Amino acid sequence: MNRRQSAPRLDFEAAAIYEYPEHLRPWLEALPKQSGVYFFHGESEAMPLYIGKSVNIRSRVLSHLRTPDEAAMLRQSRRITWICTAGELGALLLEARLIKEQQPLFNKRLRRNRQLCSLLFKGDKPQVVYAREVDFSAEPGLYGLFANRRAALQTLQTIADEEKLCYGLLGLESLTRGRGCFRSALRRCAGACCGKETQEEHDSRFLAAMERMRLVCWPWKGPIALEEVGPTMTHYHIIHNWLWLGAVNNLSEAADLLRTPAGFDHDGYKILCKPLMSGAYTITELNQ
């Protein structure tokens, strides 16, 4: 039998493995129709198999139960629990924290990345800097968040190709004094390396292309509370340097959370930057 004939058989075999998880029915009736985080638990009491979030926990959990691709996780699940939040923002933040803390077997994203880096440009050549070395919440001239050095340099190379920038002036390759780079002879570089354009013109194009990736430094003097109002509850998200410290029901409860050291948080930045800058939420500055 050739490969074309065997493929449908494999699909049939994979589908045949899936059976509706009847053993999870006792947990379905109480599922809420509001925002929050949900957990699929296996035999272990300490670590869930999967953590997810939704604006409608009930709808999202039921969709898992009808997904053959998740048959392995469903067979191992023994119970389902959840935590309700005021809205989608709280669900996103709580999910990100819990996945990093508990490392569920069936979650493949939102893992802590200890090599997180950015591109720093202060008028010379851009350089790759790491979150463990530079305060990403306060350092001006930072562009992009990257999983590793290779990803940062690939982005830099792509911008150079699109804007006809010089690899040498960007630190991507070495230059011979008094000679243009190889790409300038091929007209892939506009020639800042050999006097065909000025360094200022070169850098201006580079910064214009990078601007869409600029990191926004923390715009407040200290921690803040973001008010999220939901249909059944209101939460105040306590945030400092893009790190979500937690949520409280009223501002008088924020003091304990403010004792947590607030280093830059990658996932917090990605989740919070747009909501905080949009003006859509009530923000209260807090005293430490």
Where do the DSSP E strands lie in the chain? 36-41, 50-54, 79-84, 117-120, 127-130, 142-146, 224-229, 234-240, 243-248, 282-285
> Do 228 and 204 reside in the same domain of the chain?
no
**Closest to 61 (Cα-Cα) out of 42, 86, 85, 79:** 79
Identify the domain boundary among 71, 102, 133: 102
Q: What is the pLDDT of residues 119-162, one digit of tens each?
A: 999 878 899 998 878 888 778 889 998 888 999 999 999 999 99
> Do 230 and 205 reside in the same domain of the chain?
no
pLDDT confidence band for 83 (50 / 70 / 90): very high
> Do 138 and 209 reside in the same domain of the chain?
yes
Q: Tell whether 218 is covered by a domain.
A: no
Q: Can you read off the two tokens belonging to residue 222? A: 């200290």
> Do 84 and 47 reside in the same domain of the chain?
yes
**Residue % of the chain over a pLDDT of 90:** 62
Q: Tell whether 46 is covered by a domain.
A: yes
Q: Tell whether 110 is covered by a domain.
A: no
Q: Tell whether 84 is covered by a domain.
A: yes
Q: Tell whether 32 is covered by a domain.
A: yes
**Residue % of the chain over a pLDDT of 70:** 91
Q: Which residue has the higher pLDDT, 185 or 227?
A: 227
Number of residues assigned to the chain: 288
Quick one: how many helices (H) and strands (E) in the chain? Answer: 8, 10
Q: Tell whether 132 is covered by a domain.
A: yes
> Do 23 and 95 reside in the same domain of the chain?
yes
Residue 62 sits in a domain of what CATH number?
Answer: 3.40.1440.10
pLDDT at residue 100 greater than cutoff 60: yes
> Do 57 and 95 reside in the same domain of the chain?
yes
> Do 126 and 145 reside in the same domain of the chain?
yes
> Do 20 and 90 reside in the same domain of the chain?
yes
Number of domains present in the structure of the chain:
3
Q: Tell whether 238 is covered by a domain.
A: yes
Q: How far apart are CA 62 and CA 284, in angstroms?
A: 37
Identify the domain boundary among 102, 130, 161: 102
Residue 98: its pLDDT value, please?
A: 94
Q: Tell whether 108 is covered by a domain.
A: no
Lay out the sheet containing 243-248: strands in order across: 243-248, 234-240, 224-229, 282-285
Q: What is the pLDDT of residues 2-60, one digit of tens each?
A: 444 444 443 434 444 678 899 999 999 999 999 999 999 999 888 899 999 999 999 99
> Do 87 and 152 reside in the same domain of the chain?
no
Identify the domain boundary among 102, 135, 151: 102
Q: How far apart are CA 153 and CA 158, in angstroms?
A: 9
> Do 79 and 7 reside in the same domain of the chain?
yes
> Do 171 and 236 reside in the same domain of the chain?
no
Structural domain including 276 reads 224-285
Q: What is the pTM of this model?
A: 0.76
